[in-house]
Structures are given as C-alpha cells and as structure tokens.
C-alpha cells in the first residue's frame, strides 16, 4: 500500500469512529430524556410540583415559588417570565386531565392576581378541558409540552 492509501484509510477510520461516538451520544441523550419522562409518572403530587417548578426555572422563569400544600386555591406554582406573572396548577395523574383542573387554576389565577393561568401535567387533556381552557384563556401544558421543555434544557 502506498502512503496516500494509508492516509485515506486512517481518515476514513477516524471519520467512522467520530460518527459512532456521535450516534452513541444521541442515543444516550434520548434514553436519558425518556427515563426522566418515565420518572415523572412515578412521582407523588408534591414531588411533581417541585419537578415542574425546577423545570420552569431551567426554562427562564423567575421568582418560582411552590405554594403551600392545602388551601392553595388551585395553584401549585407562582412564577414570572418576561414580565408576565403565572399561576400554575400541577397534575400528576395516570388518566387524562378534565375540566376541574382548568376551573381551579382559573379561580386561583385571580386569587393570586396573576396574568396567566396554566395547567401542567404528565398526561394529556380531555376535549372538555381543552374547550374550557379556550373559553377561560388558560394555558394547557401537557406531556408533550413538558417533554419539549426538558429537551430545551439538554
């Protein structure tokens, strides 16, 4: 073999190794993200609230505060981002989230004098909840939205 063939083979081997390392990195990130998403389903309600508060902080929210457990008027987290104040209701369930969560954060938003109300969940929402949220101007942050928030912090 001449020297140019040896150099070419060396370059191709290095490139192949780089592709393998990059692929392993991507698979590792995807596995880690999926595992975090699964852990979310195993959390108790209060743990999920702190998980959501931490996720909001990592996504640029400021003055993030978890409210006291009982008598919170349907609001689990108070936060602010870009001059907008939020009241967030967290629901860690194993079934779709219904209208009640939307109603609770609607009332809690006004009680805490916040600009925006949102329901944040590890699940998805019923069609009735989506319709109510549209009428009451409540944001719905479902599992897909939370997953995208986790991706942004990676």
Tell the CATH topology of 43-153.
Trna Endonuclease; Chain: A, domain 1 (3.40.1350)
pLDDT band (50, 70, 90) for residue 55: very high
Q: What is the C-alpha separation between 127 and 95, in angstroms, rounded?
A: 13
Tell me the β-bridge partners of 139. 118
Residue 150: CA count within 13 A, CB half-sphere: 22
Does position 35 have pLDDT exceeding 60, yes or no?
Answer: no
Q: What is the pLDDT of residue 44?
A: 86
For the chain, the structural domain boundaries read 1-42, 43-153
Distances (CA, A) of 98 to 119, 125, 138: 11, 6, 13
Does position 13 have pLDDT exceeding 80, yes or no?
Answer: no
Does position 152 have pLDDT exceeding 80, yes or no?
Answer: no
Whole-model pTM? Answer: 0.75
- Give just the sign of the alpha carbon dihedral 82, 147, 51, 22: negative
Residue-wise pLDDT tens digits, 84-143: 999 999 999 999 999 999 999 999 999 999 999 999 999 999 999 999 999 999 999 999
14-26 burial, b at 16+ Cβ within 10 Å, e below that, comes to eeeeeeeeeeeee
Residue 56: CA count within 13 A, CB half-sphere: 30
pLDDT band (50, 70, 90) for residue 50: very high
Report the pLDDT averaged over residues 54-59: 96
Does position 23 have pLDDT exceeding 90, yes or no?
Answer: no
């Amino acid at each position: 073999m001449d020297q140019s063939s040896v150099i070419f083979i060396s370059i191709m081997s290095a490139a192949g190794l780089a592709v393998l390392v990059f692929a392993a990195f991507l698979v590792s990130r995807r596995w880690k993200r999926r595992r975090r998403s699964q852990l979310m389903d195993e959390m108790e309600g209060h743990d999920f609230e702190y998980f959501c508060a931490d996720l909001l902080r990592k996504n640029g929210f400021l003055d993030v505060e978890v409210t006291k457990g009982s008598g919170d008027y349907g609001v689990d987290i108070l936060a602010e981002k870009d001059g907008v104040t939020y009241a967030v209701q967290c629901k860690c369930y194993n079934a779709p989230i219904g209208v009640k969560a939307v109603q609770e954060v609607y009332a809690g938003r006004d009680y805490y004098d916040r600009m925006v109300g949102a329901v944040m969940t590890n699940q998805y929402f019923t069609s009735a909840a989506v319709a109510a949220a549209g009428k009451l101007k409540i944001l719905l942050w479902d599992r897909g939205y939370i997953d995208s928030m986790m991706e942004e912090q990676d």
